[in-house]
Chains A and B, each alone.
Chain A
Amino acid sequence: GENVEQHPSTLSVQEGDSAVIKCTYSDSASNYFPWYKQELGKRPQLIIDIRSNVGEKKDQRIAVTLNKTAKHFSLHITETQPEDSAVYFCAASMKGGSQGNLIFGKGTKLSVKP
């Protein structure tokens, strides 16, 4: 089955710096890659996603890139702010995620120091 690896497990940056989180997946049939942010004590929330037919997607300070050949995708956060501090999870799924079975990486705890 699908396996998703995520690095680093912890990341500490200064406010205003950029943060990059990387994930690799094993199943070439995966075609949907969402990223979730989970603040302490709260539910995971989708922040951005990308489909396999797209190489890059941006939403304000957040961007995701996908390399299908290498089977890896990355989350980029620019101009980080203290409120970006949270645990970020990448995930992969087949059939556009329509079957509800997201396979998650183990998460990256991002700390943004003011």
Chain B
Amino acid sequence: KAGVTQTPRYLIKTRGQQVTLSCSPISGHRSVSWYQQTPGQGLQFLFEYFSETQRNKGNFPGRFSGRQFSNSRSEMNVSTLELGDSALYLCASSLRKSYNEQFFGPGTRLTVL
């Protein structure tokens, strides 16, 4: 079974631009969660999508948004980029059952200049 994939793997943007990241979950997994990883703050939960609906949301500004498609693939969008948005963005997929493992993708490294 193929693992979680994310594209692109690396991205360089400038302040004020917007960016869209993509995540393809493991086949059969309908839940996709997004996390931001930085050296200072560690891994922080952004939001979770299940059945094309956002089910949970972390404490991030409205510039961070996402969506999920009928095939469970998910995209995350960040508008009006700030220097502080530079981070590794990880998505994780799961079956959304209790005590079920979340499988992480390799991440997208976003650098904002």
Contacts and interface: CB of A to CB of B under 8 A. Distances in A.
Main secondary structure of the interface of B (DSSP, over half): strand
B7 interface: no
Interface in B7-61: 31-33, 35, 41-45, 48, 50, 55-56, 58-59
Contact of A97 (B41, B98, B106): B98
Contact of A107 (B31, B42, B105): B42
Contacts of A91: 43
Interface residues of A, number: 26
B1 interface: no
Interface string B49-90: 010000110110000000000000000000000000000001
What class of interface size applies to chain B in its complex with A? 20 to 34
Contacts of B50: 100
A89 B42 contact: yes
Interface stretch (A16-24, A41-49, A59-67, A77-85): A41-49
B98 A32 contact: yes
Interface of A: 1, 32, 34, 36, 42-46, 49, 51, 89, 91, 95-107
17 contacts: A32-B98, A34-B101, A36-B104, A44-B43, A44-B90, A49-B99, A49-B101, A98-B94, A99-B48, A99-B55, A100-B48, A100-B55, A100-B96, A102-B33, A102-B35, A102-B45, A106-B41
9 A-B pairs with least C-beta separation = A96-B98, A100-B48, A100-B33, A106-B42, A104-B43, A43-B104, A96-B99, A101-B56, A98-B98
